[in-house]
């Protein structure tokens, strides 16, 4: 997988508002927030997308979901938040390093656009 902007954020080569980090992932504020709180949870391992994560990364994927709930609580949106993974360009993925969007702080429409 070729390197993306998220690798540079993980390595602290470019700035980001990092709100959580552990051995497996980082969470930081989205540069173009789509809700009052918009966080990205990103594995340190450079996996391109959900479809290519595979069974060997089942526990990593579970961890990313758990961290999403934890940072949502930490940022004050624990009562209601949405976790989104855009997989592939047709779904709106623009950065090909797997990431979970965690959105909250406003009412959410369904279905999403
Ligand atoms: P995607 O469209 O791939 O699902 O989501 C990529 C997200 O990364 C977008 O919401 C976009 O605003 C965010 N993003 C892109 N470049 C940067 C950056 O340099 N810093 C931060 N914090 N977010 C970024």
Task: Note whether residue 111 is domain-resident.
Answer: no
Task: Note whether residue 16 is domain-resident.
Answer: yes
Residue 1 pLDDT greater than 80, yes or no: no
Could you read off the pLDDT of 4-56 as tens digits, one per residue?
Answer: 999 999 999 999 999 999 999 999 999 999 999 999 999 999 999 999 999 99
Total domains in the chain come to: 1
Could you read off the pLDDT of 76-87 as tens digits, one per residue?
Answer: 999 999 999 999
Instruction: Give DSSP secondary structure letters for 49-106.
Output: -STTT-GGGHHHHHHHHHHHHHHHHHTT-TTSEEEE---SGGGT--S-S--EEEEESS
The H or E element that residue 38 is part of is strand 37-43
Query: What range does the domain containing 72 cover?
Result: 5-104
Task: Note whether residue 93 is domain-resident.
Answer: yes
Contacts of 72 (CB under 8 A, 6+ apart): 37, 39, 78, 81, 102, 104
Ligand 1 centroid – CA 17 distance (Å): 12
Closest ligand 1 atom to residue 32 Cα is 12
Residue nearest to atom 13 of ligand 1 (CA): 30
Contact present, 49 and 88 (Cβ < 8 Å):
yes
Task: Note whether residue 109 is domain-resident.
Answer: no
Tell me the CATH number at 98. 3.30.428.10
């Amino acid at each position: 997988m070729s390197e993306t902007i998220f690798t540079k954020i993980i390595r602290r080569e470019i700035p980001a508002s990092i709100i959580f980090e552990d051995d497996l992932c980082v969470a930081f504020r989205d540069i173009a927030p789509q809700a009052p709180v918009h966080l990205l949870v990103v594995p340190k391992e450079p996996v391109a997308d959900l479809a290519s994560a595979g069974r060997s990364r089942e526990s990593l994927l579970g961890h990313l979901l758990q961290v999403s709930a934890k940072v949502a609580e930490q940022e004050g949106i624990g009562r209601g938040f949405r976790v989104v993974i855009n997989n592939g360009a047709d779904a709106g993925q623009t950065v090909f390093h797997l990431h979970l969007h965690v959105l909250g702080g406003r009412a959410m429409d369904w279905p999403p656009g």
